[in-house]
């Protein structure tokens, strides 16, 4: 479901620009620019929440564009993802004084790049939602807005400490986070890792995030990424055993 996160895509390759825009359009409000100068003008006029930018471009490169945006109060807070080769990331960008939120290594498969960008979009969307939290300090929403996996990833990326309550009809699961890591979970008689695995498949229901919620219990054995990876593996196995796995969609390898 598209949300109110504004993304500015910048790449001098029209094919890459077009395919990324098509992939991200269902997830956010997407604007494009084919060079850094045009992107700077568009960003100043309508500041994006997220800049997704190629590093190597004629004229002003991606890092120079980021520096200019960081120097302006209206655009300084934008999240940044740079598209760059492994060599550029290792030798020129990783140790840069103004770190970015993520890198997408070129060449990249469209599906993988979209998933990495989506994680940052979801984090921004959750932060925007958190700003509208009522006086009781509890953020409420529907899993149609943001599913369980996206919620957990966003809380991890944002390094949130909170209690996440998930409800689906008569079922209920509670997860507790400390600095983005799930420390305890309960779902009926299930606790810890198994409770988390059980609810990752939920696509319907509601959620509440209580930023004051905390617990001293420790029932999980895996970190948040480990829980997600193992939970998705188990879910995939269950789907395949049930004969529900469809054909793999064709992926596209993109390079400059």
Q: What is the pLDDT of residue 245?
A: 46
Using the 8-state DSSP alphabet, how is residue 205 labeled? S
Contact 196, 231 (CB under 8 A): yes
- Copy the structure tokens of residue 171: 């079922």
What is the CB-side half-sphere exposure of residue 58 using CA atoms within 13 A? 3
Domain ranges within the chain, ordered by starting residue: 6-128, 135-241
**Residues 179-233: pLDDT tens digits?**
999 999 999 999 999 999 999 988 899 999 999 999 999 999 999 999 999 998 9
Distance CA 112, CA 154 (A): 17
C-alpha distance from residue 99 to each of 81, 104, 186 (Å) = 10, 14, 37
Q: How far apart are CA 38 and CA 242, in angstroms?
A: 50
Q: Indicate if the pLDDT at residue 137 is higher than 60.
A: yes
- pTM beyond 0.85: the answer is no
Q: Which residues contact 2 (CB under 8 A, 6 or more apart)?
A: 25, 26, 27, 28, 29
Q: What is the pLDDT of residue 2?
A: 54
What's the confidence (pLDDT) of residue 167?
96
Please tell me the CATH superfamily of domain 6-128, with its number.
Response regulator (3.40.50.2300)
**Integer CA distances (angstroms), 251 to 27, 50, 53, 104, in order:** 18, 24, 21, 16
User: In 10 A of CB 67, how many CB atoms?
Assistant: 14
What are the pLDDT digits (tens) for 21-58?
999 999 999 999 999 999 999 999 999 999 999 999 98
For 16-25, letters b (16+ CB in 10 Å) and e give bbebbbebbe
223 Cβ contact partners less than 8 Å away, ≥ 6 residues apart: 181, 182
Sign (positive or negative) of CA dihedral 248, 3, 28, 174: negative
């Amino acid at each position: 479901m598209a949300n109110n996160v504004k993304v500015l895509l910048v790449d001098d390759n029209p094919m890459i620009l077009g395919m990324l825009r098509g992939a991200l359009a269902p997830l956010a409000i997407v604007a494009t620019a084919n060079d850094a100068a045009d992107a700077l003008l568009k960003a100043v006029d309508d500041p994006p929440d997220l800049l997704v930018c190629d590093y190597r471009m004629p004229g002003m490169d991606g890092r120079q564009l980021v520096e200019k945006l960081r120097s302006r109060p209206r655009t300084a807070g934008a999240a940044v993802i740079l598209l760059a080769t492994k060599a550029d990331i290792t030798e020129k960008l990783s140790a840069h004084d103004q770190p970015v939120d993520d890198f997408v290594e070129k060449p990249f498969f469209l599906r993988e790049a979209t998933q990495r960008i989506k994680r940052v979009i979801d984090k921004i969307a959750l932060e925007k939602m958190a700003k509208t939290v009522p006086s009781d300090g509890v953020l409420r929403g529907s899993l149609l807005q943001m599913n369980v996996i996206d919620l957990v990833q966003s809380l991890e990326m944002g390094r949130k400490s909170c209690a996440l309550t998930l409800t689906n009809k008569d079922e209920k699961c509670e997860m507790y986070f400390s600095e983005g890591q799930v420390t305890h979970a309960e779902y009926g008689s299930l606790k810890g890792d198994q409770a988390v695995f059980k609810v990752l498949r939920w696509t319907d229901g509601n959620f509440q995030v209580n930023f004051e919620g905390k617990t001293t219990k420790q029932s999980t054995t895996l970190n948040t990424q480990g829980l997600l990876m193992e939970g998705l593996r188990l879910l995939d196995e269950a789907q395949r055993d049930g004969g529900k796995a469809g054909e793999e969609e064709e992926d596209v390898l993109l390079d400059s």
